């Protein structure tokens, strides 16, 4: 490993180690930052472990904040970065499947043995440029293997979230899962239900967004029995057949896996969840019915609407942020409309392009096409439409408002709103239309409808 710190965060972390070492305390970097450094990845967060008790840390850093003092964890801010500094510790009994009831301070070898996976159990001394490995982590890094430290059953009994973390590390690092570790996950998969929805959601989101091939992570979730525990609606996609003329790749499950694998990492979280859930409405709507040629085929009528409802339930169950829920639900509900863009009225097309989620939804559609029939003509059509309207607002300000309509004799109320909407649709459909010409159109239409005695309700979409 390089002896020169290559970033501000590494220089600040090295200075903390130097100051604690000068006070006589053995101090090291620990965990994921060491793993990432060995893999040539930049360090984002650096955790520090030390032989100093909390009082000893505070003696060197009087400004340290005690966020977990009873567990020997303090926060020190240096160079604009916050560092967790933890005393070497042994965890005592776990009572809730998440945290130890208490800890006792110990030596560094014992501290390493309490950690989750060997690749996360490494220490690094930045003053000597030395990796300290008590758990076989370096060998597992070379083998690209995620393996629990010690007895896998005990590691997962201590902290049930480790069940998901094992899969997430395999997926994001593109590592294999140690067979004994995988067996222990299968035996205890149901334990994940004891973990809070927020923590489960965080792990799933990281898997989906950080993985070079997120579909591989989904397959592993299924294979170790976790998918049916955390996302049974997604597990139900497997075996749902599709018409081969539209989906030569296979069933809904295969289609979804291919889409996830095709995402560009790191993927935006809204897009990743929209890809995962876009066809979640197909299992409950699947039926055999006539196709366009009259021959029977699998149909999924209104699966987009059903999927939006299911997606909302899933995301709310996982305590997803409200904005993400709304964006993903909108994408699921609207993903079929992209088939019709070439036949859309101009006004409707412009509204589609003006949507704040348009780029995400367009990428969802592109992935949908690439993972099935591979015809991306609609994507190209929409890009041309964007270029056509590049020099003007996609949705220009309305030429006619409610006051204008009421001045023509329409009383204030819902009827006014309908006429304003009609006028705006007419404006969007007719590039170059002036305000005077549009008012003349409204006046003439009002005159004809009033003369005919028909209800004066213009059609809008």
Tell me if residue 242 falls in helix, strand or coil: coil
pLDDT tens track for 46-61: 999 999 999 999 999 9
Gap between the Cα atoms of 341 and 335, Å rounded: 11
- Of 38-47, 298-307, 423-432, the poorest mean pLDDT is in 423-432
- Of 191-200, 284-293, 303-312, 385-394, the poorest mean pLDDT is in 385-394
Domain-ending residue, one of 143, 158, 192? 143
Domain containing 14 equals 8-143
Sheet of 27-30, strand order: 65-68, 73-78, 81-87, 47-50, 27-30, 123-125, 130-132
Gap between the Cα atoms of 432 and 434, Å rounded: 6
Q: What is the pLDDT of residue 101?
A: 54
**Per-residue pLDDT averaged across 307-311, rounded?**
97
**Per-residue pLDDT averaged across 222-243, rounded?**
97
- Is position 367 within any domain? yes
CB 211 within 8 A of CB 337: no
Q: What are phi and psi of 328, to 5 degrees?
A: -70, -45
Mean pLDDT of the chain: 89
Are residues 287 and 324 both part of a single domain?
Answer: yes
Tokens found for residue 222: 């299924």
Q: What is the pLDDT of residue 6?
A: 62
- Is position 192 within any domain? yes
CB 160 within 8 A of CB 97: yes
Q: What is the pLDDT of residue 240?
A: 95
**Per-residue pLDDT averaged across 159-180, rounded?**
97
Q: What is the pLDDT of residue 460?
A: 43
Are residues 441 and 359 both part of a single domain?
Answer: no
Greater confidence (413 vs 325) lies with: 325
pLDDT tens track for 99-109: 665 567 889 99
Smallest CA-to-CA distance from 271 within 360, 206, 379 is with 360
- Is position 235 within any domain? no
Whether residue 403 has pLDDT greater than 90: no
pLDDT tens track for 135-154: 999 999 999 999 999 999 99
- Is position 245 within any domain? yes
Are residues 383 and 409 both part of a single domain?
Answer: no
Whether residue 399 has pLDDT greater than 80: no
Smallest CA-to-CA distance from 256 within 211, 286, 227, 216 is with 216
Q: Is the pTM of this model over 0.85?
A: no
- Is position 460 within any domain? no
- Is position 459 within any domain? no
Exposed/middle/buried for 58, CB within 10 Å: 0-12, 13-18, 19+?
A: middle
Beta-carbon count within 10 A of 394 CB: 17
**Per-residue pLDDT averaged across 17-43, rounded?**
94
Cβ partners under 8 Å of residue 166, min gap 6: 116, 117, 146, 148, 177, 181, 185
CB 272 within 8 A of CB 263: yes
pLDDT tens track for 236-283: 999 999 998 889 999 999 999 999 999 998 999 999 999 999 999 999
Are residues 314 and 385 both part of a single domain?
Answer: yes
Are residues 25 and 52 both part of a single domain?
Answer: yes
Are residues 309 and 385 both part of a single domain?
Answer: yes
**Per-residue pLDDT averaged across 283-299, rounded?**
88
Number of structural domains (the chain) is 4
Tokens found for residue 197: 């929805």
pLDDT tens track for 383-393: 998 887 766 66
Whether residue 5 has pLDDT greater than 50: no
CB 133 within 8 A of CB 122: yes
Secondary structure of 357-410 in the HEC alphabet? Answer: CHHHHHHHHHHHHHCCCCCCHHHHHHHHHHHHCCCCCCCCCCCCCHHHHHHCCC
Greater confidence (351 vs 202) lies with: 202
- Is position 40 within any domain? yes
Domain-ending residue, one of 378, 395, 412? 395
Tokens found for residue 24: 């006589």
Gap between the Cα atoms of 75 and 96, Å rounded: 25
Are residues 313 and 335 both part of a single domain?
Answer: yes
Beta-carbon count within 10 A of 236 CB: 18
Q: What is the pLDDT of residue 386?
A: 85
Greater confidence (458 vs 145) lies with: 145
Greater confidence (111 vs 4) lies with: 111
Are residues 260 and 326 both part of a single domain?
Answer: yes
- Portion of the chain with pLDDT greater than 90, in percent: 65
- Is position 93 within any domain? yes
Domain-ending residue, one of 174, 206, 230? 230
Q: What is the pLDDT of residue 246?
A: 87
- Portion of the chain with pLDDT greater than 70, in percent: 91
Q: What is the pLDDT of residue 57?
A: 94
Whether residue 457 has pLDDT greater than 50: no
Tell me if residue 73 falls in helix, strand or coil: strand
For residue 10, give Cα distances in angstroms to 34, 75, 427.
11, 16, 58
Cβ partners under 8 Å of residue 435, min gap 6: 399, 400
Say which CATH number the domain at 221 has: 1.10.110.30
Say which CATH number the domain at 42 has: 3.30.460.10
Q: What is the pLDDT of residue 15?
A: 95
Are residues 431 and 345 both part of a single domain?
Answer: no
Identify the band that residue 453 occupies on the pLDDT scale cut at 50, 70 and 90. Answer: low
**Per-residue pLDDT averaged across 115-121, rounded?**
96
Are residues 154 and 211 both part of a single domain?
Answer: yes
Whether residue 371 has pLDDT greater than 50: yes
Are residues 157 and 178 both part of a single domain?
Answer: yes
Are residues 289 and 206 both part of a single domain?
Answer: no
Say which CATH number the domain at 289 has: 1.10.3210
């Amino acid at each position: 490993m390089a002896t020169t710190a290559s970033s501000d965060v590494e220089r600040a972390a090295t200075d903390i180690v130097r100051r604690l070492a000068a006070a006589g305390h053995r101090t090291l970097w620990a965990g994921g930052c060491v793993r990432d450094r060995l893999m040539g990845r930049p360090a984002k967060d650096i955790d520090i472990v030390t032989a100093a008790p909390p009082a000893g840390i505070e003696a060197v850093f009087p400004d340290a904040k005690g966020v977990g003092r009873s567990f020997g964890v303090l926060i020190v801010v240096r160079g604009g970065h916050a560092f967790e500094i933890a005393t070497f510790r042994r965890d005592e009994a776990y009572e809730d499947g998440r945290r130890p009831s208490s800890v006792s301070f110990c030596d560094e070898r014992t501290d390493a043995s309490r950690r989750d996976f060997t690749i996360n159990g490494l220490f690094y001394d930045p003053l000597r440029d030395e990796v300290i490995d008590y758990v076989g982590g370096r060998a597992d890094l070379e083998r690209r293997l995620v393996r629990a430290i010690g007895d896998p059953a005990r590691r997962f009994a201590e902290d049930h979230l480790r069940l998901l973390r094992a899969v997430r590390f395999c997926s994001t690092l593109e590592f294999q899962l140690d067979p004994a570790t995988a067996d222990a996950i299968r035996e205890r998969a149901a334990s994940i239900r004891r973990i809070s929805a927020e923590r489960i959601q965080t792990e799933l989101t990281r898997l989906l967004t950080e993985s070079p091939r997120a579909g591989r992570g989904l397959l592993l979730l299924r294979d170790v029995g976790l998918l049916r525990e955390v996302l049974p609606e997604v597990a139900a996609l497997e075996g749902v057949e599709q018409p081969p003329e539209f989906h030569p790749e296979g069933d809904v499950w295969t289609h979804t896996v291919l889409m996830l694998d095709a995402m560009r990492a790191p993927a935006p979280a809204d897009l990743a969840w929209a890809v995962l859930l876009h066809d979640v409405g197909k299992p409950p709507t699947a039926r055999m019915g006539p196709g366009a040629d009259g021959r029977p085929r699998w149909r999924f009528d209104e699966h987009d609407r059903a999927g939006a409802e299911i997606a909302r339930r899933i995301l709310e169950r996982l305590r997803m942020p409200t904005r993400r829920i709304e964006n993903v639900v909108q994408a699921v509900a609207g993903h079929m409309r992209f088939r019709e863009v070439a036949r859309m009225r101009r006004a409707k097309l412009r509204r589609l392009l003006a949507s704040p989620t348009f780029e995400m939804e367009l990428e969802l559609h592109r992935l949908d096409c690439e993972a099935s029939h591979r015809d991306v003509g609609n994507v190209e059509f929409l890009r041309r439409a964007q270029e056509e309207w590049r020099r003007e607002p996609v949705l220009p300000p309305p030429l006619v408002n409610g006051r204008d309509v009421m001045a023509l004799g329409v009383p204030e109320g819902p009827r006014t709103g309908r006429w304003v909407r009609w006028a705006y649709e007419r404006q969007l459909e007719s590039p170059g239309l002036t305000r005077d010409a549009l008012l003349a159109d409204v006046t003439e239409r009002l005159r004809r409808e009033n003369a005919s005695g028909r209800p004066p309700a213009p059609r809008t979409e």
